[in-house]
């Protein structure tokens, strides 16, 4: 009798296990953290799958994935790392796509400090200009290209402070330690918070290589495919745009 | 071999660790002496404050330092009132951060060493008419020598290995605030594993040799001591 009950319990558990949706772990570039939370929430509501988001720098995530980290999908901050994962066989072939295009903005918390053309960069009244490290972060590389295109890169070397990533560049400016900095539009615009005040120059996209953020699936399952499709859906794309990105 | 920027990072790291250790020994000795000898009840509060940098994660400590050093923070305002510049993104700023960060590593061994010396040798010296300063310099300090060595080694090593605080307040300016740990981190993040291995390996070997030399020297000294 008791044994039979046990069997029934086990069978019930198994059925529940099948009915309960899968849980997927997604590695997400830090700049996309709040946006991905909004997307994951909608995805969980509509699909019933569970999503765990792990934030970090794309370079670190790449190294972790290459060394067996248990992520099923990867929302990177650039296209280079997903490409490498695809070519070395760590990703599901053909699953790579651009999910967001980052916008660069020159921002200062002080009103009237940054003019509409970014001519402030040519002046000498700031001590520090914050950028993300061009070696590590796509936003940093874009900022470098903008400064190079204006012929200011060499002259500004001693006044440039490099954040490890774009969030740190933002902190440098926000805390007042740097008078101005190249940050992501998504950091000064968010549907969840008050937009940042001050002054800004939205950098024309023609001045730098587009900051394409790509996603790649690392495991082929129904849940990951559903997640990939959702990120590409119009619903997710409108969330992404509301956070200050462009979508392809 | 090492590139010019990596060599610069090595030099800045050694300069930062050396200067921080020197300042900490100078500031930490009177503080540790006071902590070891005082009967003041509020001493526990001071001890707790000294140990605080052990509790906060370095990046958090760095974040608060960034806020404090900034033009709206207390230290930044003070600096500006004194006619100076804000300290973030400067070598001086890194020294301030490192002194705070490594404080317990220097003060605690010194305090232990002074406590171990105890009151007795000093009282004996006093009966021989040694002045308080004389007693401190010729009795307490020589007897606490192993404590000074431990404090200096720990302070230096901890500053060499410092990462989070520098990451937050340094701004990675080559030749100014880009230290070795940051350089290694940037190589790893940029997938330049070869250069990262070389720097990290070099750092390990160098640190090991340095510690070996210091401890070996200390041992020999103790053996000759009567």
CB nearest to B70's CB, from A161, A162, A176: A176
SS3 at position A232: helix
CB-based burial label for A248 (10 Å; 0-12, 13-18, 19+):
exposed
Please identify among residues 2-61 of chain B the ones whose CB lies closer than 8 Å to any CB of chain A: none
Q: Is the pLDDT of residue A242 over 90?
A: yes
Q: Is the pLDDT of residue B52 over 80?
A: yes
Helices (H), A67-211: 80-87, 138-149, 166-174, 185-188
CB nearest to B71's CB, from A136, A163, A176: A176
Helices (H), B83-179: 91-117, 120-127, 132-135, 141-143, 145-160, 164-170
Q: Is the pLDDT of residue A233 over 90?
A: yes
CA distance B189 to A140: 14
Whether the CB-CB separation of B12 and B176 falls below 8 Å is answered with: yes
What integer pLDDT is reported at residue B79 of this predicted model?
85
Give residue-wise pLDDT tens across range B138-180: 888 999 988 999 999 999 999 999 999 998 898 888 888 999 9
What integer pLDDT is reported at residue B223 of this predicted model?
53
| Mean local confidence (pLDDT), B182-198 | 88
CA distance A96 to B112: 59
Q: How many domains does chain B have?
A: 1
The structure's pTM equals: 0.80
The alpha-carbon gap from A79 to the nearest alpha carbon of chain B, in Å, equals: 14
Confidence of residue B221 (pLDDT cuts 50, 70, 90): low
Whether the CB-CB separation of B79 and B87 falls below 8 Å is answered with: yes
More confident residue, B223 or B207: B207
Rounded mean pLDDT of chain B? 89
Domain A2-101+212-242, second-level architecture: 3-Layer(aba) Sandwich (3.40)
| Mean local confidence (pLDDT), A72-86 | 94
Whether the CB-CB separation of A91 and A85 falls below 8 Å is answered with: yes
Phi, psi of A182, deg, nearest 5: -85, 115
What integer pLDDT is reported at residue A11 of this predicted model?
59
Pairing of strands A129-132, A50-56: unpaired
Q: Is the pLDDT of residue A15 over 60?
A: no
Lookup: tokens for B103: 């404080």
Whether the CB-CB separation of A35 and A236 falls below 8 Å is answered with: no
**Beta-sheet strands, E only, within chain A:** 23-29, 50-56, 73-75, 97-102, 104-108, 129-132, 160-163, 180-184, 199-202, 211-217
| Mean local confidence (pLDDT), A67-96 | 93
The alpha-carbon gap from B7 to the nearest alpha carbon of chain A, in Å, equals: 18
CATH number of the domain encompassing residue B34: 1.10.3720.10
Q: What percent of chain B has pLDDT over 90?
A: 46
Rounded mean pLDDT of chain A? 89
Q: Is the pLDDT of residue A2 over 60?
A: no
The alpha-carbon gap from B130 to the nearest alpha carbon of chain A, in Å, equals: 51
Which residues are paired to A180 by β-bridges?
A129
A2-101+212-242 and A104-202: same fold? yes
Of B163, B130, B143, the C-alpha closest to B61 is B163
Question: What is the helix, strand, coil percentage profile of chain A, to 5?
Answer: 45, 20, 35
B188/A contact by beta carbon, under 8 A:
yes
The alpha-carbon gap from A238 to the nearest alpha carbon of chain B, in Å, equals: 31
Q: Which residues does chain B have within 8 Å of residue A159's beta carbon, measured at their own beta carbons? A: none
| Mean local confidence (pLDDT), A117-141 | 91
CB nearest to B89's CB, from A62, A128, A136: A128
Chain Cα centroid distance, residue B15? 12
Superfamily covering domain A104-202: Periplasmic binding protein-like II (3.40.190.10)
| Mean local confidence (pLDDT), A128-145 | 93
CA distance A214 to A97: 5
Q: B217 lies in which domain range?
A: 4-224
What integer pLDDT is reported at residue A193 of this predicted model?
73
Q: What are the sequence ranges of the domains in chain A?
A: 2-101+212-242, 104-202
Query: Virtual CA dihedral for A29, A30, A32, A37, nearest 10 degrees?
Result: 110
Q: Is the pLDDT of residue A194 over 80?
A: no
Q: Is the pLDDT of residue A230 over 50?
A: yes
Lookup: tokens for B202: 């070099």
Q: Is the pLDDT of residue A17 over 50?
A: no
What integer pLDDT is reported at residue B226 of this predicted model?
42
Sheet containing A129-132: give its strands across. Answer: A160-163, A129-132, A180-184, A104-108, A199-202
Give residue-wise pLDDT tens across range B93-148: 999 999 999 999 999 999 999 999 988 898 898 898 888 888 888 888 999 988 99
CB nearest to B89's CB, from A135, A161, A164: A161
Which value does ipTM take for this structure? 0.74
Closest Cα in chain B to A66: B191
Give residue-wise pLDDT tens across range B55-70: 989 988 998 998 898 8
């Amino acid at each position: 009798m008791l044994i039979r009950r046990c069997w029934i319990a086990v069978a019930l558990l198994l059925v529940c296990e099948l009915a309960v949706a899968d849980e997927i772990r997604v590695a997400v570039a830090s700049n996309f953290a709040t946006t991905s939370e909004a997307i994951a929430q909608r995805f969980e509501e509509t699909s019933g799958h569970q999503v765990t988001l792990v934030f970090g720098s794309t370079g670190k995530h790449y190294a972790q994935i290459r060394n067996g980290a248990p992520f099923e999908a990867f929302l990177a901050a650039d296209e280079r790392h997903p490409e490498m994962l695809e070519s070395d066989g760590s990703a599901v072939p053909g699953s790579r796509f651009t999910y967001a295009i980052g916008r660069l903005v020159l921002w200062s918390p002080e009103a009237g400090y940054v003019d509409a053309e970014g001519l402030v960069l040519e002046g000498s009244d700031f001590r520090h200009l914050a950028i993300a490290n061009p070696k590590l972060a796509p936003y940093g590389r874009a900022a470098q290209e903008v400064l190079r295109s204006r012929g200011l890169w060499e002259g500004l070397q001693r006044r440039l402070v490099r954040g490890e990533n774009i969030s740190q560049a933002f902190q440098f400016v926000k805390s007042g330690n740097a008078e101005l900095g190249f940050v992501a539009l998504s950091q000064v615009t968010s549907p969840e918070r008050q937009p940042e005040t001050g002054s800004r120059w939205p950098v024309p996209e023609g001045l730098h290589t587009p900051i394409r953020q790509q996603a790649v699936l690392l495991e082929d399952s129904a849940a990951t495919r559903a997640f990939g499709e959702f990120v590409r859906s119009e619903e997710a794309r409108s969330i992404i745009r509301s956070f200050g990105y462009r979508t392809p | 071999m090492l590139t010019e920027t990596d060599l610069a990072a090595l030099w800045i790291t050694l300069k930062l660790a050396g200067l921080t250790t020197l300042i900490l020994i100078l500031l930490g000795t009177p503080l540790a002496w006071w902590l070891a000898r005082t009967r003041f009840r509020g001493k526990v509060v001071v001890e707790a404050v000294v140990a605080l940098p052990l509790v906060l994660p370095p990046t958090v400590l760095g974040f608060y330092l960034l806020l404090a050093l900034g033009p709206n923070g207390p230290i930044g305002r003070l600096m500006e009132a004194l006619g100076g510049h804000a300290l973030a993104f400067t070598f001086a700023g890194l020294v301030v951060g490192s002194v705070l960060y490594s404080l317990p590593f220097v003060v605690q061994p010194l305090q232990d060493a002074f406590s171990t010396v105890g009151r007795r040798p000093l009282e004996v010296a006093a009966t021989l008419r040694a002045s308080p300063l004389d007693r401190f310099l010729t009795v307490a300090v020589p007897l606490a020598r192993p404590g000074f060595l431990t404090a200096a080694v720990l302070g230096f090593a901890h500053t060499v290995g410092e990462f989070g605080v520098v990451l937050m307040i340094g701004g990675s300016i080559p030749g100014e605030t880009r230290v070795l740990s940051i350089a290694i981190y940037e190589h790893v993040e940029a997938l330049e594993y070869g250069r990262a291995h070389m720097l990290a390996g070099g750092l390990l070997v160098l640190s090991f040799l340095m510690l070996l030399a210091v401890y070996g020297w200390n041992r020999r000294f103790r053996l000759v001591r009567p």
